[in-house]
Structure 1
Amino acid sequence: MRAPGDRVQKRSLTASAAACGGGGPQTRGAGKVIVVCLDDMSGVLLAGPAVRAVAARAAHVTMLCAPRGASAAALLPHVDEVLVWEAPWSSARPPTVQEADVEGLVGRMRDAAYDAALVVAPAEQSPLPLALLLRMAHVPRIGAPLTEPPGSLVDVPHRRVPGRHDVEAALDTAAALGFPPGAGDDGRLRVLPAPDTTALTGNGPYVVLHPGAAAHARAWDAGRAAEAVVLLADAGHRVVVTGGPRETALTRKVSGDTAVDLGGRTDLRTLSGVLRAADVVVAGDPGPAHLAAACATPVVSVGSPGGSAERRSPYGVPAVLLGGQEAPVPATGRSAPDEALPDDVLRAVQKLMKESR
C-alpha cells in the first residue's frame, strides 16, 4: 500500500546512462540499493557523486527524497527511480506523524526488497529515524554517517572527518558501505544533459544573477542585486536574472530595463540549461549555486550556504565566496548577515572570467 504522501517517479536506465559527465560507462551488478537524502535541492545535488558510486555497482538505484529535493533528484544521472516522502522531522514545517503514511513508506520499501541502503545526511541531521524505518522494511545492510551510537539500526556507521565537505563525506560513507567511485569518475557534481535555452537567454555570452532564495535569510538584498546588474552591464556583461514563479516581482525589480528577466520562466531542468551556458553564476541561495557547479559553471556565492562554507560551498568549480558565509540560516527566516556589496560581485565575476580564459 502506498501512503498518500508517497510518490514515485521512474526513469529508464537508458536515459540515466546517457547523462553527460556521469563518470563513463557503468557496469551494473546485482542488487537493488536505495539512497536516502531528505535534504533540500542543494543537499540532493551534493549527494549526486555518492549516488553515482552506488550506481557503478548496483543493478537498480532508487532515490528516496523529500518533496523539496524531488526535482533535483530527477536530474541526477544513474537514478532509476525517485521515491518522494515528506518526513515528520526533516523540514522547518514538518507534517504531523500519520501512522498510515509511515506504514505506507515502510511497506513500499519492504516490497521493493532492497539489498542495501545508503543514508546521506548533513552533519546537523541524524540519520537514525530513517535507519529505523529502513530496518523495519527489512533492508539487510544500512550505511550512514553517525556521531551517536548506532545501536542495531546501522550496519556500517561511518564517522565523518571534521571539516570534510558534504560531497566527500557522502562519498566516504558510500565507500565504507562497499561503493567506491566508479572508474574514471572524478567525484564532481553532475546532472543530466541540459536543454538549449538560447530562445530564453538570447545569443551571446552572459552572467546569471539569481537574487532570491528558498529561505529569506539566504536571499541577497534586492537593491544591492539591482545595483550589481547595472555595474555588470556597465562593465560590458550581458546579465540574465533568474528566479522561481513566486519571485517574479523580485526578478522584475532586479532586472529593471537592463537585464533579461527569466523570473518564473524556468523549471529546474531548463534552469540547468541557462546556468550551463553562463560565464559565471551569482547566487545567494545554495540550490542554484550547486546546480551551477553541477553544470561546470563558476560561481560567486553572496550568502550563507546553509551551513559551514567549508562543508557546503560550491564544489569542484572555481568559486568566490562573499558575504556572511558562516552565518546560520534560522528556520524562522530572519535575515542573516548581508555583507556582499555590488562592487565585490563585479570584481569576483571579472576574476573568475579572467581565470577561465
Structure 2
Amino acid sequence: MKALVVPLDGFTGALLAGPAVRAVATRAHPVTVLCGPGGAPAARLLPHVDDVVVWEPPEGGRADDDDPLVRRLRAEAYDVALVFAPDGHSPRPTEQLLLRARVNRVAACGEAGARAVLGTAAALGFRPRPGDDGRLRVVPPPDTAQLTGAGPYVVVHPGGGPPGHAWDPDRCAEAVAALADAGHRVVVTGGEDETALTRHVSGDIAVDLGGRTDPRRFAGVLRAADAVVTGAPGPAHLAAATGTPVVSLVPPGAPRRPDGVPSVLLAPDDCTARDVVGAVHRLLDERT
C-alpha cells in the first residue's frame, strides 16, 4: 500500500503530522509527505518518511488534469492519503486534487494537534506500533557540541514566530542577560535572515548561532539544551520532538502548547526577564 501524508501548515504542521506518519508506516510503504516549501525541512526530519514532495498549491486552490502534480500522483498510483489542515483552513481543495489524481481513499482532518491527526489515521486503520506513545519525534540529530561549546545551556530563539508571538528584541536581550546572571550559559538561535536580531539579543554574553544551523543541526542544538525559550511555534514543537522542555512566549488564546514535554506559557506583552528565568528554573526543577 502506497500512502501520502499531506500537512498544510508549514513547518509546525509537518512536525505535528509525525505521529500519524509513524502509524501509517505500520501498514504502508512507501510513505510520502506532500507539503509546501515551509514544511519540507520538518518533513525530512520525521521517522519513517520515504520521500518528500514539495508542492505549491495552484492559484485559486484548484488543479486540472494537466497539473504536473496530478500527473505525477496518478503515475505513482497512491492508495491512500491523509490531509491535515490548520485551524480555520479548509482541506477541501487538496482533497479534490488528490481525488483528481485518482488516489483511492482520501481522509482529512481540520483540527490542530498530534492527537487529532492520529485519530484521522486510526479512522483509516492506521494505528501506532506497540509502545509508540504518539509524541512528536525526529530522527536522531547530530552532535552539535562544536557549535554550542561544552557544558549545559539554555536556548533562546527570539525570532521566527507569527505576528504577535515575537518578543521585543530589547526585552529578549534582557532575558539573556538575566539567565546569564542566574548562572546559565545561553545559546541564541535564528535563521539566516535573523542574524542581526540574534547578534543584538546575544550581545557579548551568549553564543550566537544565528544563521549557522540547518534544520538537523538546529534539532541537535535543541536536544542538548536544558530548556528552550521561544515565541515561535515551529522551534517550540521541534524542541518538544527532541524531548527538551519549552518556555513558550505566546499571546493569550494562542493554540498549540508543545506536545509531550514540560512547558510553561508566558504572555510576551506581560512577562519580564525575571519571569523567563523563573520559568526556566521551574522546568529544570521538574527534570530533577
SS of residue matched to 2:34: strand
1:323 is matched with: 267
Seen in structure 2, the aligned counterparts of structure 1 residues 215 and 176 have a Cα distance that, compared at 3 Å, is same
User: Residue 42 of structure 2 aligns to which amino acid in structure 1?
Assistant: A
> In structure 2, what is the Cα distance between the partners aligned to 1:351 and 1:189?
22
What's the offset of the Cα at 1:220? 1.1
Q: Distance in 1 between matches of 2:66 and 2:13?
A: 23
CA contact (8 A) 1:276 1:297 kept: yes
- For residues 243-322 of structure 1, what are the structure 2 equivalents within 5 Å? 243-304=190-251, 308-309=254-255, 312-322=256-266
Equivalent position amino acid for 1:110 in 2: R
Q: Which residue of 2 aligns with 1:37?
A: 7
Q: Does 1:169 align with 2:139?
A: no
Aligned-residue offset at 1:124? 1.3
Listed one character per residue, the Cα deviations across residues 273-308 of structure 1 (whole Å, up to 9, x for unaligned) are 000000000011011000000000000001249x74
Equivalent residue letter for 1:34: L
The answer to whether the Cα contact below 8 Å between 1:194 and 1:273 also exists between their aligned partners in 2 is yes
Residue 37 of structure 2, aligned match among 57, 67, 79: 67
Q: Is the 8 A contact 2:65 2:100 kept in 1?
A: no
Structure 1 length as normaliser, TM-score?
0.77
For residues 117-136 of structure 1, what are the structure 2 equivalents within 5 Å? 117-136=81-100
Which TM-score applies when normalising by structure 2? 0.95
Aligned to 1:190: 137
Q: Is the 8 A contact 1:34 1:118 kept in 2?
A: yes
What's the RMSD between the two structures over aligned residues?
Answer: 1.9
Describe the superposition over 1:55-95 as per-residue Cα deviations: whole angstroms up to 9, x where unpaired. 1111210000010111000000000000000114xxxxxx6
* TM-superposition CA deviations, 1:26-66 (whole Å, max 9, x none): xxxxx000011121111110111011110111121000001
Letter in 2 for 1:351: R
Between the aligned partners of 2:63 and 2:21, the Cα distance in structure 1 is 29
Q: What aligned pairs does 1:203-282 form with structure 2 within 5 A after superposition?
A: 203-282=150-229
Structure 1 match to 2:67: 103
Aligned to 2:39, the other structure's residue is in SS state helix
Provide Cα deviations, 1:95-149, integer angstroms capped at 9, x if missing partner.
6779689711111111110111111122311111000011001111111125xxx
Runs of 4+ displaced beyond 4 Å: 95-102
Structure 1: 5+ residue stretches without partners: 1-30, 89-94, 147-159, 325-337
Kept in 2: contact 1:304–1:323 (CA 8 A)? yes
What letter matches 1:32 in structure 2?
K
Report the identity percentage: 61
SS of the aligned residue for 1:246 comes to helix
- In structure 2, stretches of 5+ residues that fail to align are none
Q: Work out whether residues 38 and 87 of structure 1, in 8 Å CA contact, stay in contact via their aligned partners in 2.
A: no
How many Å separate the matches in 2 of 1:100 and 1:245?
Answer: 37
Tell me the residue number matched to 1:10. none
Residues of 2 paired with 1:166 and 1:57: CA distance?
Answer: 22
Query: 1:46: which partner in 2?
Result: 16
- Where 1:59 maps in the other structure, the secondary structure is coil
2:102 aligned partner: 138
2:207 and 2:64 mapped to 1: Cα distance? Answer: 47
Residue pair 2:64, 2:70 contacting (<8 A) in 1 also: no
